[in-house]
Chains A and B, each alone.
Chain A
Amino acid sequence: MSTAALPHDEQLRVRFGELKPALTAQAAVIEADRCLNCFDAPCTAACPTHIDVPGFIKRIASGNLRGSALRILDANILGASCARVCPVDVLCEGACVLTRQNRKPIQIGQLQRHAMDAFWASAEAVPVAASGTHNLRVACIGGGPASLACAAELRRKGARATVIERRELPGGLNTYGVAEYKLRAADSVREVEMIRRLGVEFRCGMEVDSAAALEALEAEFDFVFLGLGLGAMQRLNVPGEDAEGVMNALELIAAYKTGHLRELHGTVVVVGAGNTAIDAANAARRLGADTVYMLYRRSESEMSAFEFEYEHAKQEGVQFLWRRQPVAIGRDERERLLLETVQVREADGKLEVIPDSQAAIACDLVVPAIGQSPLTEILRELRGVEVHDGKIVADRATGRTGNPKYYAGGDCVNGGREVVDAVAGGRRAAHAMLKAVEVVHA
């Protein structure tokens, strides 16, 4: 997998230096020794992929780093990126029993990274099960975490898998949408390369956008896994939002990660208060914006971003404007963007505009980041795949859709969660497809 599409940019490296430096080898062992090795550990239960957390941690303590990494990869093929991007506070570390003893939870994410870094350093390949090889062929549409996990699991169990990605590089949001200080695009691509070396086929730059394309896939493959992710970001639906200087949060993140956006100046306003909004706001600060506002129509206590992300944004110098929403985007006499806003309040569960609360913010960039709307175009092409509320309807345990040829997982099913949720969904679908074949052959 070539990383030619990614910049080797010293400025990017410095401005988006790693948020959390890696543990040293000895610090990792000391931390691993702190782990109580709980029975049926709550951290493992809290992890959507159910990584055997005490199992991999105790392998670090004993110096069995290869075993530790393989333990992680058995449950989660994207263990390296999850170690960096998972909101561990609300997952494994949030479940650590030590917190009930007023002790700091085990740094599970950091330990997982330690094991995975050692695995990378050893340049070893992930083992593939020798037995059980069969002719099952699956196409995974979308090159993000759900498809990657599904394809890798199928491959490791002896089946054949092909990942189809419309962009130049696979990895989905791991490559294009995660803040660079958490996960570098190059590291995402490296992880994808590991999956390719398992024998997963990649077809990049290929859009599946017609009935004919679908028919061709149906003819070539036994099953199609839909790991489509979410579609374009929702629009603000205010006049002037197509003006130059309006760029949605995912576009902004992808642009700086691929070297297409190197500098920002002046004032940036991010509209929304989710985790992606925060990533975009922090990026704007690091790219050089003097003032970054986050505009949210509700209050601090209602924002959907994780608490630790909110704290991080404050540390980055992002300023918050609560209970305010945009009404129009225009330009002032000096041709700067002028974001017209009003103050709102909640009345009977609905937001109402407070009279005479208009305020205009002169700025240089407006970044809508108010959630992502699902890609529905392609789904209309799919026969028998039910869509509800913008999400593909699939069985929770198997990812099976209404059409037995189609399975689905990740954001397009769950409406937008974390990488680790997508991995879990992809993996469950892989197991279900393998089982379906077994049943047929039995």
Chain B
Amino acid sequence: MPDIGVRNFAGSINSPNPFWLASAPPTNTGEMIMRAFDAGWGGAVWKTIGEPITNVSSRYSATDWNGQRIMGFNNIELISDRTVEQNLSEMAGVKKRYPKNAVIASLMVASTREAWHEIVTRTEDAGADGLELNFGCPHGMSERGMGSAVGQVPEYAQMITEWVKEKARTPVLVKLTPNISDIRTVARAAKRGGADGLSAINTINSITGIDLDTFVPRPNVDGKSSHGGYCGPAVKPIALNMVQQILADPESALPLSGIGGIGSWRDAAEFLLLGCGTVQVCTAVMHFGYRIVEDMAEGLDNWMREKGFETLEDLRGLSLNRVTEWKHLNLNYKIVARIDEQKCIGCDLCHIACWDGAHQCIHLDRVTGPVDGHVELHRTPAAKEAESRASIAETPVTRRERAVAFAPGPYATPLERIPRVDETECVGCNLCSLVCPVDDCITMVPVDTGLKPETWDERTRRAACVTQVRQP
């Protein structure tokens, strides 16, 4: 049975699994965190502790998509609105009752050495297993010189990390903001400052939407709004990219706790494959509750078993070196789309996607006779549609008419609606397979080009060599 426990993350942090709650509303109080641990969470990063703030209402807004709630989530809530004393006394209680779970204190105080020294000492005295420096909060706190105001200036980030390291006895993680042109600049600064690990990414500056009746963006606070921090499923691709950037850069790379749109074991596995040691979750818990961790742990366990991984270290970072610069990709690798006639349901979305969004190589010509070649040889989608509109259809009112109208053919879908790929023109872009609503109906199949692998880098370098050789 695989072991999904985390050992000595960033030096000395242990947790029974890699699933931590991110510093956010689900980790607001000791009571909440203890319920989360009961549900199965391995660790929790305490809602950021600092001088108590006053929040506004409302605080959240979301982006729904295609009937699904919360594709993306946005908040303008600040750090903890409870006193340092309250938070730390509860933290001591939690640590006493749950010694095996990781309790990380997220911290944000004024940018003075004294303030940071004091909070570090008090927090560690309360029993925190590690510290997470919140250099990422993109709203409110940044206007007061904290949060992303620090995280966007490498020099500040390094300086404060150094101050913290002067006092800290537990591992120090720096939480990075994505609201910067190159996240590595601050990751490097944190590393120079002595950080033991990193957390990434914090939320992304956002305005989720505008009420088309009142014209006020969401969330509406008495007729006005403010930019917030975006998270949830929508940000995962951005987070994965930044995680990869950090971990592929020797000057940035540190033990990393991955954050951004994680809601399932699949998401978590992807962050681990890029090299994260733990993952943090917030939005999915705010949507569905602590209980989601059960499937995350079980699913990860099952997948590891299926793949033969015994520990998280067996899989950590396996995909990192599969990301490279574009110039190192093989230009001579070719795939083409193949449509499974048995599975096709005849929606013909691949046809219109290929014509209007790609390379005009998926045609509806199985009945009229397949024609390979350039776009001019084919009937346009508009012409095809006009023909259908001009046809005469009647309600099949008799049994015989219905038998004809619904007569089964060789495939579930009438042949004239099953598209055909002209492989001579297909560039292998994947678009059709992405729009196809049926699993495994369109597959992208490698075809032998007869050419040796060659990258752009190799091609241009060889060209340069040839030019040099030719020169007298």
Chain A interface (Cβ < 8 Å from any Cβ of B): 29-30, 33-34, 36-40, 42, 44-48, 50, 61, 87, 90-91, 94, 97-98, 100-101, 301-304, 396-397, 414, 416-418, 420-421, 424, 428
Question: Is A94 a contact partner of B345 (Cβ separation < 8 A)?
Answer: no
Is A91 in contact with B395, judged by CB distance below 8 angstroms? yes
Contact digits for B374-418, partner A, Cβ 8 Å, 1 yes 0 no: 000000010011001101111111110010011000001100010
**Chain A residues with CB under 8 A of B381:** 39-40
**Contact status A304-B394, CB under 8 Å:** no
Min distance, Cβ B211 to any Cβ of chain A, angstroms: 13
Chain B residues whose CB sits within 8 angstroms of the CB of A304 once the complex forms: 397-399
CB distance B405 to A47 under 8 Å?
A: no
Choose from A30, A87, A98 the contact partner of B395 (Cβ within 8 Å).
Answer: A87
Structural contact, B394 and A38, CB atoms closer than 8 A: no
Q: Is the CB of A90 within 8 A of B392?
A: no
Contact A36 B388 (CB under 8 A): no
Q: What residues make up the interface of B, taking CB atoms closer than 8 Å to A?
A: 66-67, 345-349, 351-352, 381, 384-385, 388-389, 391-399, 402, 405-406, 412-413, 417, 437-438
Query: In the complex, what residues of B have CB within 8 A of residue A87's CB?
Result: 395
State in angstroms the CA–CA spacing of A103 and B329 once bound together: 40
A309 to nearest B CB, angstroms?
Answer: 11
Knowing A38-B349, A40-B388, A421-B395, the reply to whether A100 touches B66 (Cβ < 8 A) is: no
* With contact pairs A38-B348, A39-B351, A39-B381 given, residues A90 and B395 touching in the complex (Cβ less than 8 Å): yes
Shortest Cβ distance from A304 into chain B, in angstroms?
6
Residues of A within 8 A of B346 (CB): 38, 42, 97, 100
Docked pose: A39 CA to B466 CA in angstroms:
50
- The answer on a CB contact under 8 Å between B349 and A39 is yes
A420-B388 contact given A40-B348, A90-B402, CB 8 Å threshold: no
Residues of B near A101 (CB, < 8 A) are 345, 437-438
Q: List 23 A-B contacts (CB under 8 A).
A: A33-B66, A36-B349, A38-B346, A39-B349, A39-B351, A39-B352, A39-B381, A39-B385, A40-B385, A42-B417, A45-B393, A47-B393, A48-B394, A50-B388, A50-B393, A97-B345, A97-B413, A302-B399, A304-B397, A417-B395, A421-B395, A424-B393, A428-B392
Minimum distance in angstroms from B35 CB to a CB of chain A: 32
Top 5 nearest A-B pairs (CB, nearest first) are A33-B67, A39-B352, A39-B348, A100-B345, A38-B347
- Chain A residues positioned under 8 Å from B405 (CB to CB): 90, 94
CB distance from A233 to the nearest CB of B (A): 17
**Nearest chain-A residue to B391 (Cβ)?**
A45
Q: Which residues of A sit under 8 angstroms from B66, Cβ to Cβ? A: 33, 61
Is there contact, CB below 8 Å, between A418 and B397? Answer: yes
Query: How near does chain B come to A175, taking the closest CB pair, in angstroms?
Result: 20
Given known contacts A48-B393, A90-B405, A396-B392, A30 and B437 CB-to-CB distance under 8 angstroms:
no
With most chain A CB atoms within 10 A of its CB, the pick from B349, B391, B397, B398 is B397
Taking the nearest CB of chain B, how far is it from the CB of A110, in angstroms? 16
CB-CB under 8 A from B397, the residues of chain A are 304, 416-418
Which residue from A42, A50, A100, A303 sits with its C-beta under 8 Å from B389? Answer: A50
B347 surroundings in chain A (CB, below 8 A): 36, 38-39, 97
Pick the most buried of A29, A40, A42, A47: most chain B CB atoms within 10 A of its CB: A40
A357 CA to B256 CA in the complex, in Å? 89
Closest to B413 in A: A100
CA distance A45 to B414 in the complex (A): 13
Query: Contact: A418 with B393, CB < 8 Å?
Result: no
Alpha-carbon separation in the docked complex, A420 to B392 (Å): 12
Nearest CB of A to B431, in Å:
14
Q: Which residue of A lies closest to B356 (CB)?
A: A39
A210–B215 alpha-carbon span in the complex (Å): 65
Q: Are B394 and A417 in contact (CB under 8 A)?
A: yes
Closest chain B CB from A149 CB (angstroms): 15
Distance, CA A92 to CA B417, complexed state (A): 16
Q: For the complex, what is the distance from the CA of A302 to the CA of B381, rounded to whole Å?
A: 41
Say yes or no: A420 contacts B395, CB within 8 Å. Answer: yes
Interface centre among B385, B392, B394, B395 (most CB of A within 10 A): B395
Contacts of B438 in A (CB 8 A): 101
A46 CB contacts on chain B under 8 angstroms: 393
Q: Which residues of B contact A303 (CB under 8 A)?
A: 399
Contact partners of B402 in chain A: CB under 8 A = 90
Residue of B nearest to A63 (CB): B212
Residues of B within 8 A of A417 (CB): 394-395, 397
User: How far apart are B398's CB and chain A's nearest CB, in angstroms?
Assistant: 6
Please measure, in the bound complex, the distance between the C-alpha atom of A337 and the C-alpha atom of B399, giving whole angstroms.
33
Q: Closest residue of chain B to A50, judged by CB?
A: B389
- Give CA–CA (A45, B349) in the complex, Å: 16
Instruction: Give B53 Cβ to nearest chain A Cβ, in Å.
Output: 36
Chain B positions within 8 Å of A416 at CB level: 397
Q: Which residues of A contact B392 (CB under 8 A)?
A: 48, 396-397, 424, 428
Query: Quick check: A421 and B349 within 8 Å, CB to CB?
Result: no
Given contacts A418-B397, A428-B392, 20 further A-B contacts (CB under 8 A): A29-B67, A33-B66, A38-B347, A39-B347, A39-B348, A39-B381, A40-B348, A40-B388, A42-B346, A44-B388, A90-B406, A97-B346, A97-B347, A97-B413, A100-B345, A100-B346, A304-B399, A421-B394, A421-B395, A424-B393
